[in-house]
Amino acid sequence: MGRTKIPFRERLLINEVMVGDGAMGTYLYSKGFSFEKSFDELNLTNPDVIKGIHQEYLSAGSELIETNTYTANRFRLENFNLEKKLREINLEAVKIAIEASEGKAYIAGSVGSIGKPFEPISQIKYEQAKEAFKEQIECLAEGGVDVIMLETFSDLRELDIAIKAAKEMTDLPLIAQKTFIEEGRILERELPVDVVEFLQNLKVDVLGTNCTVGPQRMLCIIEKMAPRSTIKLSAQPTAGLPQLVDRRLVYQATPEYLAEYALKFVEEGVFLVGGCCGTTPAHIKEVADRIKGMKPVKRPIIAVIEEVPARKEEKAVIKEEGFSDFSVKIKKKFVITTELDLPRGLDISDVLKGAGYLKDIGIDAVNISDGARARLKMSPITVAHLIKERVNMEIILHFTCRDRNLIGLQSELLGAHALGLKNVLAITGDPTNIGDYPNATSVFDVDSIGLVKILKKLNNGIDLADNSIGEPTRFTICVAANPMAEDINCEIERLKRKIDEGADIIFTQPIFFPQQIENFLVKIEDFRIPILAGILPLRSSRHTEFLHNEVPGIFIPEDIRKRMHGVSKEDAIREGISIARELLQEIKGLVEGVYLMPPFAKYEVVSDIISVL
């Protein structure tokens, strides 16, 4: 380090640049270790490799090195069934770094985000995240780190929690770094300034930015942060954007290029300069040779506003205009929707024919399912668009969370809206292991509650990361509910959360007698929104017994099962229609509409059922 190691906070008082280290994960990847396995576990299984990397950075000129613990929190370790080794992994990581440094460098305990969204997007609560941060930070502090480094946080709310967790567990110095995933036009506004003000109010020791962006874009961020910061700044860019070469990730920024920008960072007043993804000891050596011993340029500080809150959501004023005809119609009349059977191949002629027939008999909208029971069918967005284009029929687009990550979910929703598909039924989706491809991956970044949250944000003109999407969407947000759920209290609690997040209409699972919907309405009277009751015409005794005994969430009373028992095939179909008609007559005054599910594309059944209206 060129001087005797002094406490980190005393080192902050010395007006001289500190050189950090570079990447750990991507450097391990370049050495042949797979991203599909835990890099944190290498602290236990390959400690010499980790120690060797630390020593390479120290030899390159690093004055501060980070422990190999960026993803060593319980949530991320669970992905590798390593959560029970959390304490051992973190303590060993600190031990390895201390041994490598031989007391000549500062050891920063690396703490990253939990790597999962919070409720309502997922089931994880902020309180759980805080406990996870405290659990990891306690281990790092016990191990003997000099400073806690909170890095690569994209969500200021999560960074806030991590900072508070650290302050509750230790009085060690804190470095807090946000990663900026926003587009350049968003960064041109005051977001970096907001981050500075927010972190200064939390009284961290060093604030800054790392990861995601390369040197040039990071300089733009630093140029906005520096005039507002009264405390030390840090900058740790990636080595540019990665590309896939021979199935390997490769970063293009050379050590010389990074060093040029390191000098620019110092000229903007940055105290701690290092690297993130794609940077190597060669990059850090070039940076150290260029800036070590320099003094950060002191800039005039622009006064900040005290107590600036975390970034606020940009909410648009939602007007009635632009929403679907269906959302207007349900307020004026009893509506009827019918589910269409999607093809497994390319022939959609029967679907289009069925949609045309349903339109002619007065059905208000058709439901397009999305891989129900994890079966392979044509894309529901494609089918829905073709129906809307060729038949001019209103669509209820079912949309599941199983097959799309957070990027894909939002991307496809925007695409659907652009095609005029504005009624979306948010569904978690059946897991892939029950369907055609049991070895396929189920994504489930979010569940149906989280999907409702996303839809509502899009209606407010922002995406999940609170970035503006320009013109707000006009989705009518539909959700599913099961009046006969085995754990009805849990079902109702989840339904309430969906409504709180912005649901507009409820579609129920199939019911078979009026008391099912009557009892349900009593339980949700405090948060009632329009309801379409599901009606599934029974077609045989065998079909009836299968639904009752083998399909979760469906209960068919004994008297109805008896009516379907012992009759011919033709009589069973007629009896099933009669039961559906009777049910429709009895509940039409209780709900705003019905959702019919005819078997095997037998759409003429629908005409028979609704004839009683």
> Tell me, what amino acid is at 153?
F
Quick one: 68 and 118 in the same domain? Answer: yes
**CA–CA dist 207, 193 (Å, integer):** 12
- Selection from 392, 406, 400 nearest residue 429 by Cα: 400
> Tell me, what amino acid is at 45?
T
Q: What is the pLDDT of residue 444?
A: 86
Give one DSSP letter per residue of 422-487, joined into a string: -EEEEE----GGGSS-TTSPP--SS-HHHHHHHHHHHHTTB-TTS-B-SSPP--EEEEEE-TT-SS
**In this predicted model, what pLDDT tens digit does every residue of 371-392 receive, in sequence order?**
887 889 999 999 999 999 999 9
Quick one: 516 and 462 in the same domain? Answer: yes
Mean pLDDT of 308-331: 64
Q: What are the angstrom distances between the C-alpha of 299 and each of 150, 266, 270?
A: 25, 11, 10
Mean pLDDT of 458-473: 91
| Global confidence as pTM | 0.72
**In this predicted model, what pLDDT tens digit does every residue of 394-439 receive, in sequence order?**
999 999 999 999 999 999 999 999 999 999 999 998 888 778 888 7
pLDDT above 70 covers a percentage of the chain that reads: 93
Mean pLDDT of 173-193: 73
Boundary of a domain, candidates 240, 269, 291 = 291
Is the Cβ–Cβ distance between 533 and 505 less than 8 Å?
no
Q: 3-class SS at 134? A: helix
**In this predicted model, what pLDDT tens digit does every residue of 60-91 receive, in sequence order?**
999 999 999 999 999 999 999 999 999 999 99
Question: Which secondary structure element, helix H or strand E, spans residue 12, and what is its range?
Answer: helix 8-13
**CA–CA dist 37, 582 (Å, integer):** 58
Cα dihedral angle (166, 169, 174, 175), rounded to 10 degrees?
Answer: -40
Sequence-separated (6 or more) residues with CB below 8 Å from residue 36 = none
- Selection from 273, 219, 217, 262 nearest residue 240 by Cα: 217
Is the Cβ–Cβ distance between 100 and 108 less than 8 Å?
no
Quick one: 348 and 257 in the same domain? Answer: no
**Is 70 exceeded by the pLDDT of residue 187?**
no
**CA–CA dist 233, 414 (Å, integer):** 38
Q: What is the pLDDT of residue 246?
A: 66
Q: What is the pLDDT of residue 120?
A: 73
- Whole-number CA gyration radius for the chain: 29
Number of domains in the chain: 2
Question: Which secondary structure element, helix H or strand E, spans residue 113, and what is its range?
Answer: none
320 within a domain of the structure (yes/no): no
Q: What is the pLDDT of residue 313?
A: 42
Q: What is the pLDDT of residue 123?
A: 77
Quick one: 231 and 333 in the same domain? Answer: no
The CATH number linked to 347 is 3.20.20.220
Mean pLDDT of 503-530: 95
**CA–CA dist 487, 495 (Å, integer):** 12
**Is 80 exceeded by the pLDDT of residue 319?**
no
The 10 Å Cβ neighbour count of residue 343 is: 15
Question: Which secondary structure element, helix H or strand E, spans residue 77, and what is its range?
Answer: helix 74-78
**CA–CA dist 262, 265 (Å, integer):** 5
Q: How many residues does the chain have?
A: 613
Quick one: 277 and 337 in the same domain? Answer: no
The 10 Å Cβ neighbour count of residue 332 is: 7
Boundary of a domain, candidates 240, 263, 291 = 291
Beta strand pairing status for 174-178 and 206-210? parallel
Provide the greatest CA pair distance for the chain: 95
500 within a domain of the structure (yes/no): yes
Quick one: 229 and 361 in the same domain? Answer: no
Q: 3-class SS at 33? A: coil
- Residue with more model confidence, 121 or 19: 19
The CATH number linked to 251 is 3.20.20.330
Rounded mean pLDDT of the chain?
91
**In this predicted model, what pLDDT tens digit does every residue of 521-538 receive, in sequence order?**
999 999 999 999 999 999
Quick one: 144 and 216 in the same domain? Answer: yes
103 within a domain of the structure (yes/no): yes
Q: For tokens 């109702």, name the residue.
A: 492
Least confident of 186-195, 258-267, 597-606: 186-195
Q: For tokens 């060129």, name the residue.
A: 2
Mean pLDDT of 145-159: 94
Is the Cβ–Cβ distance between 537 and 599 less than 8 Å?
yes
Quick one: 246 and 348 in the same domain? Answer: no
- Selection from 175, 265, 271, 248 nearest residue 214 by Cα: 265
421 within a domain of the structure (yes/no): yes
**CA–CA dist 312, 466 (Å, integer):** 8
Quick one: 366 and 233 in the same domain? Answer: no
**Is 50 exceeded by the pLDDT of residue 311?**
no
Sequence-separated (6 or more) residues with CB below 8 Å from residue 573 = 539, 540, 605
551 within a domain of the structure (yes/no): no
**Is 70 exceeded by the pLDDT of residue 569?**
yes
Per-residue tokens: 407: 């990027």
- Residue with more model confidence, 118 or 574: 574
Per-residue tokens: 465: 């990361």
**CA–CA dist 589, 334 (Å, integer):** 9
Q: For tokens 């669509």, name the residue.
A: 395
Least confident of 255-264, 320-329, 571-580: 320-329
- Selection from 384, 306, 307, 377 nearest residue 342 by Cα: 377
Quick one: 268 and 356 in the same domain? Answer: no
Q: For tokens 């961020």, name the residue.
A: 221
Is the Cβ–Cβ distance between 69 and 84 less than 8 Å?
no
Domain extent at residue 374: 329-537+592-610
Mean pLDDT of 156-175: 96
Identify any residues that bridge with 481 across adjacent strands, giving them in sequence order. Answer: 508
Quick one: 346 and 271 in the same domain? Answer: no
**CA–CA dist 233, 177 (Å, integer):** 9
482 within a domain of the structure (yes/no): yes
**In this predicted model, what pLDDT tens digit does every residue of 238-248 receive, in sequence order?**
998 877 666 67
pLDDT above 90 covers a percentage of the chain that reads: 76
- Residue with more model confidence, 154 or 291: 291
Q: What is the pLDDT of residue 185?
A: 46
Is the Cβ–Cβ distance between 451 and 399 less than 8 Å?
yes
Boundary of a domain, candidates 291, 307, 342 = 291
Q: For tokens 């990550």, name the residue.
A: 405
The 10 Å Cβ neighbour count of residue 104 is: 14
> Tell me, what amino acid is at 128?
Q
**CA–CA dist 290, 76 (Å, integer):** 37
Beta strand pairing status for 242-245 and 248-251? antiparallel
Mean pLDDT of 179-200: 73
Is the Cβ–Cβ distance between 275 and 287 less than 8 Å?
yes
Quick one: 268 and 341 in the same domain? Answer: no
**CA–CA dist 236, 112 (Å, integer):** 14
Per-residue tokens: 420: 């005029």
> Tell me, what amino acid is at 284?
I
**In this predicted model, what pLDDT tens digit does every residue of 47-63 receive, in sequence order?**
999 999 999 999 999 99
Q: How confident is the model at residue 321 (pLDDT cuts 50, 70, 90)?
A: low
Q: How confident is the model at residue 4 (pLDDT cuts 50, 70, 90)?
A: low
297 within a domain of the structure (yes/no): no
